[in-house]
C-alpha cells in the first residue's frame, strides 16, 4: 500500500488553510502534470482589474463583469444583441501581453517569503486564540471571544449542530496544518492533547458527512503522518505513540455505522447520535453529496485496520445513488429519500448537495485504483458536459460566452434557476485532476473574476443579474484548492498571484480584532 499517495489524497481533500499555505509558499510536490495548454494566460490580465467604468446592467453573465450588451437565449447563457459584436470577457485581454508579463509572469522569492510569513501569522492568530479562549470546545466564537459547541438548547439549529459534536473539532482539524507549517513540536503536543482529552462517547447528534470529512479524515491523516516510514514531512513520530489516533478514528466510524442500518436502499441517514445511534425522529431524506462522499475516509480506514465493513457500506451507498440516476440524462438529483429511492430534490448541479459526490468518485479512483469509480466518474462528467454546460463549445476560442455550468432538472436538462454557489469553485480543480486543464483555466477565471469584484465568493451568485443572491462567505476553500491544483499543473506564477490575492482578501475582510484576539467570518 502506497501510504504517501493516500496521504497526499487526504491532504488534497482537506486542503482549506493548508492549501492556502502551500500555494503562498510555492511549495507542494511536483506532480509531474504535462498537459498541453492552448489557453493564453495573458488574456486574463484585464479581467481582474477593478471595475472603474461599467455599462448599465443587462442580461449577460459575462458582459456584466466587463463588456457589451447581450440578450439571453434558450440555447446559451447569452448571445450578442444586434447592436454589439459578439465578444466574451476574455476578448478584452487581447493586446495586453506586456501588462500581463509585468504583473503575472514572475513571483519573486522575496514575495514568496512575505506571503509565507503572512499565512503563518494568519494561522497562528486563529489557532492560538482558539487554544487560549475556546479549547476544549469545538470552535471559537469570534464575536464573543469564547468557545462554542453544539447548540443543545436548540436541536433544530443544524447549521451549528451538524458540525459541532463536543469533540474539540478545531484542534483535531488543524493537526496536519501544523506539520505543513513545520511545527513538529506543536503537532506532537496537539496529538497528545487529542489522545488525552477527546472522547466520542457523547450524547451529540452530528451529520455523518461532516463528522467524516472533519474528524475521521483528520485523525486518519495525522495517524499516517506519524507512522509513514517515508516521512513526507520528516520523522514526526514520538516515543510511546501506540496508534491511539487510529483507535479514535475506528471508534468514531463504528458510531457512524448505525446511519447505514435500516435503510431500504443502503443510502445512509444524514445524522446519527454518537451515543444512541439514529435519532427516533430522524428524517428519511439526505443529499447526494452527504451520502456519497464517505468512501475516501471509510476506505482508508478499512485498509488500515483490515476490516472491509467501512469501505463496503460507503461503496454500497455510492452504487445505490448511481443506480438512481436518470435514464434520459444520466444525471442525479440533489435530495433523495433513503427508504423509497425517490428523488425529493430534482436539481442537478455542481454546488451544494452534489459537489463532493463527483469529487469523491475521481479521488477514490486516484487513491484506490478501482476502475468502477472511474467508470462512474467519466459517465457523470460526460453527462455534466452534455446537460449543465452552457456557452461556446470551445473555452479558448469561438463566439459567445466562455462556459458556465448551470443548475438543471435531472430528468430534462432544463435550467431550473439562474444562480451558482461558491461550492462550485471546486470543479476547476477536479478538471485538472481529470486532465481537462484548458477548461479548468477558463472556469477558474470566471470564479476569480467574481472574487476580485467582491473580495470573496458570495455564497450564491446570480449569473443572470450579475449580483449576489446570498450575501456571505463562510471561508470556503474550494477556489483555493482549484488555484493550487492549477498551479501544480501549469507552474504558472499567475496562480501564486491569485493565492496572494486570496490571502490578502481574507486578512482584510474576514478578521475580527477583539482586544488582541479573535477573528470573525465575513458578513
Residues known to be catalytic: 210, 355, 459, 478
The answer to whether 57 and 64 are in contact (CB under 8 A) is yes
The answer to whether 403 and 386 are in contact (CB under 8 A) is no
Place of cell 470556503: 476
End-to-end CA distance of the chain: 45
Q: Is 450 exposed, middle or buried (0-12, 13-18, 19+ CB in 10 A)?
A: buried
CA pair distance 351, 353, nearest whole angstrom: 6
| List of residues 6+ apart from 92 with CB closer than 8 A | 46, 47, 66, 67
| Long-range CB contact pairs, 252-261, < 8 A, 24+ | 252/200, 252/211, 252/215, 252/216, 252/219, 253/216, 253/298, 253/301, 253/310, 255/200, 256/208, 256/211, 256/212, 256/216, 257/309, 257/310, 257/313, 259/208, 260/313, 260/316, 260/317
The answer to whether 237 and 193 are in contact (CB under 8 A) is no
The answer to whether 274 and 319 are in contact (CB under 8 A) is no
- State residue 286 phi and psi, 5-degree precision: -145, 160
CA pair distance 387, 413, nearest whole angstrom: 5
| List of residues 6+ apart from 462 with CB closer than 8 A | 418, 419, 468, 469
Q: Of how many residues is the chain composed? A: 523
Number of CB atoms found within 10 A of residue 210's CB: 18
The three-state secondary structure class of 285 is strand
The three-state secondary structure class of 350 is coil
Amino acid at each position: 500500500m502506497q501510504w504517501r499517495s493516500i496521504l497526499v489524497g487526504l491532504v488534497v481533500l482537506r486542503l482549506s488553510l493548508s492549501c492556502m499555505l502551500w500555494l503562498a509558499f510555492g511549495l507542494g510536490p511536483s506532480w509531474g502534470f504535462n498537459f498541453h495548454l492552448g489557453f493564453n494566460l495573458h488574456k486574463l490580465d484585464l479581467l481582474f482589474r477593478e471595475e472603474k467604468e461599467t455599462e448599465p446592467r443587462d442580461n449577460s453573465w459575462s458582459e456584466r463583469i466587463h463588456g457589451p450588451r447581450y440578450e439571453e437565449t434558450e440555447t446559451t447563457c447569452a448571445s450578442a444583441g444586434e447592436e454589439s459584436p459578439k465578444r466574451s470577457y476574455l476578448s478584452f485581454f487581447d493586446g495586453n501581453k506586456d501588462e500581463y508579463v509585468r504583473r503575472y509572469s514572475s513571483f519573486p522569492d522575496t514575495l514568496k517569503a512575505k506571503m509565507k510569513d503572512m499565512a503563518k501569522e494568519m494561522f497562528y492568530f486563529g489557532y492560538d486564540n482558539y487554544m487560549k479562549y475556546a479549547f476544549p470546545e469545538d470552535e471559537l466564537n469570534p464575536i464573543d471571544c469564547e468557545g462554542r459547541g453544539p447548540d443543545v438548547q436548540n436541536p433544530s439549529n443544524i447549521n451549528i449542530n451538524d458540525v459541532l459534536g463536543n469533540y474539540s473539532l478545531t484542534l483535531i482539524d488543524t493537526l496536519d496544518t501544523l506539520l505543513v507549517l513545520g511545527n513538529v513540536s506543536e503537532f506532537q503536543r496537539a496529538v497528545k492533547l487529542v489522545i488525552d482529552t477527546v472522547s466520542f462517547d457523547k450524547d451529540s447528534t452530528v451529520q455523518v458527512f461532516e463528522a467524516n470529512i472533519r474528524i475521521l479524515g483528520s485523525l486518519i491523516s495525522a495517524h499516517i503522518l506519524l507512522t509513514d516510514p517515508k516521512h513526507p514531512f520528516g520523522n514526526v513520530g514520538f516515543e510511546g505513540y501506540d496508534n491511539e489516533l487510529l483507535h479514535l478514528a475506528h471508534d468514531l466510524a463504528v458510531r457512524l455505522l448505525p446511519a447505514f442500518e435500516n435503510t431500504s436502499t443502503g443510502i445512509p441517514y444524514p445524522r446519527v447520535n454518537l451515543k444512541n445511534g439514529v435519532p427516533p425522529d430522524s428524517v428519511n431524506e439526505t443529499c447526494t453529496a452527504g451520502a456519497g462522499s464517505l468512501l475516501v475516509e471509510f476506505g482508508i480506514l478499512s485498509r488500515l485496520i483490515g476490516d472491509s465493513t467501512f469501505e463496503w457500506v460507503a461503496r454500497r451507498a455510492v452504487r445505490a445513488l448511481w443506480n438512481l440516476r436518470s435514464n434520459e440524462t444520466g444525471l442525479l438529483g440533489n435530495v433523495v429519500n433513503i427508504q423509497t429511492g425517490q428523488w425529493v430534490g430534482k436539481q442537478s448541479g455542481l454546488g451544494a448537495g452534489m459537489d463532493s459526490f463527483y469529487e469523491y468518485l475521481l479521488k477514490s479512483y486516484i487513491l484506490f485504483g478501482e476502475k468502477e469509480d472511474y467508470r462512474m466518474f467519466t459517465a457523470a462528467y460526460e453527462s455534466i458536459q452534455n446537460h449543465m454546460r452552457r456557452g461556446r463549445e470551445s473555452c479558448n476560442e469561438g463566439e459567445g460566452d466562455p462556459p458556465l455550468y448551470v443548475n438543471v432538472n435531472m430528468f430534462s436538462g432544463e435550467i431550473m434557476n439562474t444562480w451558482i454557489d461558491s461550492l462550485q469553485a471546486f470543479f476547476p480543480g477536479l478538471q485538472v485532476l481529470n486532465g481537462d486543464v484548458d477548461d479548468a483555466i477558463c472556469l477558474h477565471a470566471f470564479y476569480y473574476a467574481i472574487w476580485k469584484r467582491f473580495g470573496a465568493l458570495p455564497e450564491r451568485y446570480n449569473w443572470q443579474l450579475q449580483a449576489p443572491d446570498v450575501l456571505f462567505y463562510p471561508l470556503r476553500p474550494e477556489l483555493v484548492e482549484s488555484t493550487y491544483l492549477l498551479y501544480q499543473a501549469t507552474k504558472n506564477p499567475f496562480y501564486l498571484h491569485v493565492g496572494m490575492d486570496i490571502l490578502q482578501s481574507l486578512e482584510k475582510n474576514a478578521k475580527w480584532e477583539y482586544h488582541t484576539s479573535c477573528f470573525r467570518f465575513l458578513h
